[in-house]
């Protein structure tokens, strides 16, 4: 273990630590550290790889084939700056950055700056923003930094991102951090699989349950028939079997080793603190496929930012981080003890523990995986074509009507909309999260019975736009054929689809209707997605919006970025399977 760490650290050319950052009087630019200096620092300070900063505002990033060791398995993958430890790029709002990306792979690559507002030619999507970066080539990105917060970057080519090509972006506000945290750590989550992405896709295409090792078996049949009677257990299986669907179909790909900042549980990423300090954790989910539920047993987390935009602080016990989302939380451990940062996959097949400790060399406790959830008929309610009871169908159409009412007719009057939903007899418990289908098997519960974050808790601290009515609504049904592993929008996969055309200057409402039984983190490039949570002007501003099975979720988009952009589900194999669109913005600023 020790040896491994030392080796890894030696691999990262230079290293920056978050805590160093807070040291006053030091500019970020002064961290052009030598490898020797990096090695001289305590292990915990060498948390990340970092770019070479050649001159002010200029960053060099290499894309390399790297050896990845998770402690559970070794494989070859892709990494930045020759490391499996994700690189952190640190920018300051208002600066103009130049990023030289050198492709040391034998195939074409690209970097997409996830969540950054920039000219579309700099957005890094091959075939939409540019032609990609050929092997051996150095491509120079140049763009102004017009925002602050936590973001990330990743390859948008092939399966390089699941294979390891991801890093973090931390942008300091123009006038310095407002939150006054004593420590500031990036917590970048990833799911690492022994198989390369291309092989995973091939296996899923031929056998969609290839990686599902949580299926119902004879054992669960016996257990269920003891509980509910054999007849009921068989009837339930008959119903799912008739649809050729699986209630265990929550995570298409299992067998992952979860990582925090490139480190597995055994490799134990550790952040140091002194009791009483306020610590900011910048949680980024850079997984290919895995939603993570985050908790720090014994501590409350105060969510202060989502997807780079500040929100009114909300204190929770646990939160779900959809793929590609970021959440910044503040914690304040007062006791002189070791805490565990736990990220557990939504389907409860993978878990990683990181440690917060007053001293080096400690590891927090590792809890057991909680019991695996099962999808319910509510999660299927979007699949209108399926043979299901009327009851479920009504719920689904009810949902849609409600969200329609709530948003277009009762703009600003958020309460009636929400009450309407509750009154429609949809069997909702007191604190049901309206972003899950009523009765959904995926509805989260906090580990300690406490507060679990919902989108409805997110209130924009600084709305970016005047709150105005959308001029039109675009309906996007999220569709798929699980058995063929084809994913699509409005039943058409990317290859066969026309672009979505938006007009510069308009505000559009996009209505996602999830007709599949899986959650989809939808990511629109270049423009913000303002989720309609019924908070009017305070609706949270995000770049990635998770749409749960059997639900309808509305976002609004201020079309303020000319050019063409990608718009897709951020689950790697769903995007590749066709749940992807090109968006063309017609017109430009006068």
Partner 1 sequence: MKRFKLAGLAGLFLPWAQVTYAEPLIWGFQAEQFEYRAMDGEDAFVWDFDALAGSDELKFVWRSEAELGLTSDDFEKLENQARLQFPVSPFFDAVVGAYADTPGGAPDRYAGVVGLKGLAPQWFEIDADLFVSDHPFFRFEAEYEALLTNRLIFTPSIEVDMPLKDDLARERGAGGAIVEIGARLSYDVIDRAFSPYVGVNYEASYGDTKDIVKANGEDTDAFSIVFGTRLMF
Applying CB under 8 A, which residues contact partner 1? Answer: 108, 126-127, 131-132, 158, 195, 198, 201-203, 205-207, 210, 213-219, 238, 241-244, 481, 483-484, 486, 493-496, 576, 578
Between 238 and 361, whose beta carbon lies closer to partner 1? 238
For residue 77, the minimal CB distance to partner 1 (Å) is 18
How does DSSP classify residue 29?
G
For residue 198, the minimal CB distance to partner 1 (Å) is 6
Between 418 and 497, whose beta carbon lies closer to partner 1? 497
Q: What are phi and psi of 179, to 5 degrees?
A: -85, -15
Residue 95 Cα to chain centre, angstroms: 26
For residue 292, the minimal CB distance to partner 1 (Å) is 23
For residue 358, the minimal CB distance to partner 1 (Å) is 42
CA dihedral 125, 130, 135, 141 (to 10 degrees): -90
Between 48 and 193, whose beta carbon lies closer to partner 1? 193
Between 335 and 483, whose beta carbon lies closer to partner 1? 483
For residue 435, the minimal CB distance to partner 1 (Å) is 28
For residue 504, the minimal CB distance to partner 1 (Å) is 25
Cα dist from 85 to 155, 400, 440, whole Å: 15, 43, 36
Structure tokens given for 8: 């890894």
Cβ neighbour number for residue 184 with a 10 Å cutoff: 23
CA dist., res. 281 & res. 298, Å (int): 16
Between 307 and 576, whose beta carbon lies closer to partner 1? 576
Helices (H), 210-299: 218-228, 230-243
For residue 568, the minimal CB distance to partner 1 (Å) is 11
For residue 378, the minimal CB distance to partner 1 (Å) is 22
Between 30 and 131, whose beta carbon lies closer to partner 1? 131
Cβ neighbour number for residue 222 with a 10 Å cutoff: 12
Report angle CA 150, 153, 155 to the nearest 5 degrees: 165
By the 10 Å C-beta count (0-12 exposed, 13-18 middle, 19+ buried), 459 is classed as middle
CB 23 within 8 A of CB 53: no
Q: Classify 219 in phi/psi space as left (phi over 0), alpha (psi -120 to 50) or beta.
A: alpha
Q: Classify 47 in phi/psi space as left (phi over 0), alpha (psi -120 to 50) or beta.
A: alpha
Between 124 and 364, whose beta carbon lies closer to partner 1? 124
For residue 186, the minimal CB distance to partner 1 (Å) is 31
For residue 479, the minimal CB distance to partner 1 (Å) is 11
Residue 483 Cα to chain centre, angstroms: 25
Between 127 and 587, whose beta carbon lies closer to partner 1? 127
How does DSSP classify residue 405?
I
For residue 95, the minimal CB distance to partner 1 (Å) is 32
CA dist., res. 157 & res. 240, Å (int): 36
Between 29 and 484, whose beta carbon lies closer to partner 1? 484
For residue 272, the minimal CB distance to partner 1 (Å) is 39
At a CB cut-off of 8 Å and minimum separation 6, what does 204 contact?
Answer: 210, 211, 252, 253, 485, 573, 577
For residue 158, the minimal CB distance to partner 1 (Å) is 8
What is the arrangement of strands in the sheet containing 318-321, beginning at the earlier edge strand? Answer: 270-272, 351-357, 339-345, 292-295, 318-321
Residue that the structure tokens 């007899």 belong to: 425
| Beta pairing, strands 326-331 & 520-524 | unpaired
CA dist., res. 150 & res. 326, Å (int): 7
Q: Which of 352, 193, 329 is nearest to 266 (CA)?
A: 352
CB 160 within 8 A of CB 81: no
Q: Name the maximum alpha-carbon separation found in the chain.
A: 72
Between 151 and 210, whose beta carbon lies closer to partner 1? 210
CA dist., res. 531 & res. 541, Å (int): 7
Q: Which of 378, 412, 413 is nearest to 398 (CA)?
A: 378
Between 184 and 576, whose beta carbon lies closer to partner 1? 576
Between 180 and 385, whose beta carbon lies closer to partner 1? 385
Between 244 and 462, whose beta carbon lies closer to partner 1? 244
Helix axes 390-404, 414-423, angle to 10 degrees: 170
Between 212 and 340, whose beta carbon lies closer to partner 1? 212
| Beta pairing, strands 301-306 & 309-316 | antiparallel
For residue 514, the minimal CB distance to partner 1 (Å) is 18
């Amino acid at each position: 273990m020790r040896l491994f760490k030392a080796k890894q650290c030696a691999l990262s050319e230079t290293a920056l630590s978050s805590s160093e950052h807070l040291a006053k009087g030091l500019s970020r630019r002064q961290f052009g550290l030598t490898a020797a200096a990096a090695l001289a620092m305590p292990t915990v300070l060498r948390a990340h790889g970092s770019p070479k900063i050649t001159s002010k505002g200029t960053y060099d990033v290499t894309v390399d084939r790297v050896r990845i060791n998770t402690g559970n398995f070794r494989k070859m993958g892709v990494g930045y700056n020759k490391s499996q430890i994700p690189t952190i790029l640190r920018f300051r709002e208002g600066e103009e950055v130049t990023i030289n990306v050198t492709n040391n792979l034998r195939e074409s690559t690209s970097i997409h700056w996830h969540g950054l507002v920039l000219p579309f030619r700099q957005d890094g999507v091959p075939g939409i923003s540019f032609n990609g970066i050929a092997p051996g080539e150095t491509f120079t990105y140049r763009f102004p930094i017009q925002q602050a917060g936590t973001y990330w970057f990743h390859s948008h080519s092939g399966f390089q991102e699941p294979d390891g090509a991801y890093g973090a972006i931390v942008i300091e506000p123009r006038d310095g951090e407002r939150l006054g945290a004593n420590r500031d750590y990036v917590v970048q989550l990833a799911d690492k699989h022994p198989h390369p992405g291309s092989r995973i896709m091939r296996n899923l295409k031929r056998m969609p349950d290839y990686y599902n090792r949580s299926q119902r078996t004879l054992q669960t049949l016996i257990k269920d028939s003891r509980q509910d009677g054999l007849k009921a257990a068989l009837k339930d299986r008959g119903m799912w079997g008739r649809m050729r669907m699986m209630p265990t179909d929550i995570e298409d790909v299992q067998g992952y080793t979860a990582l925090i900042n490139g480190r597995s549980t055994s490799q134990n990423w550790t952040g140091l603190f002194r009791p009483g300090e306020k610590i900011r954790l910048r949680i980024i989910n850079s997984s290919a496929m895995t939603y993570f539920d985050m908790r720090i047993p014994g501590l409350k987390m105060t969510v202060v930012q989502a997807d780079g935009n500040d929100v009114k602080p909300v204190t929770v016990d646990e939160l779900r981080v959809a793929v590609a989302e970021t959440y910044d939380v503040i914690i304040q451990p007062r006791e002189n003890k070791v805490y565990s940062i736990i990220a557990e996959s939504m389907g409860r097949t993978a878990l990683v523990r990181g440690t917060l400790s007053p001293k080096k060399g400690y590891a927090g406790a590792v809890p057991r995986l909680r019991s695996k959830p099962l999808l319910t008929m509510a999660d299927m309610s979007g699949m209108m074509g399926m043979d299901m009871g009327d009851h479920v169908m009504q719920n689904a159409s009810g949902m849609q009507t409600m969200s329609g009412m709530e948003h277009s007719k009762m703009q600003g009057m958020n309460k009636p909309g929400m009450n309407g939903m509750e009154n429609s007899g949809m069997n909702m418990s007191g604190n049901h999260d309206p972003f899950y289908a009523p009765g959904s098997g995926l509805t989260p519960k906090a580990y300690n019975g406490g507060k679990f974050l919902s989108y409805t808790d997110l209130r924009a601290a600084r709305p970016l736009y005047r709150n105005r009515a959308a001029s039109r609504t675009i309906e996007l049904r999220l569709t798929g054929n699980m058995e063929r592993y084809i994913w699509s929008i409005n039943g058409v996969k990317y290859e066969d689809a026309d672009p979505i055309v938006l007009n510069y200057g308009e505000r559009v409402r996009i209505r996602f209707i999830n007709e599949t039984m899986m959650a989809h983190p939808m990511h629109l490039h270049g423009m913000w997605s303002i989720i309609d949570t019924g908070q009017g002007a305070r609706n949270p501003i995000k770049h990635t919006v998770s749409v749960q099975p059997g639900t309808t979720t509305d976002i609004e988009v201020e079309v303020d970025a000319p050019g063409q952009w990608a718009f897709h589900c951020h689950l790697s194999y769903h995007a590749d399977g066709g749940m992807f669109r090109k968006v063309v913005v017609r017109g430009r600023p006068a």
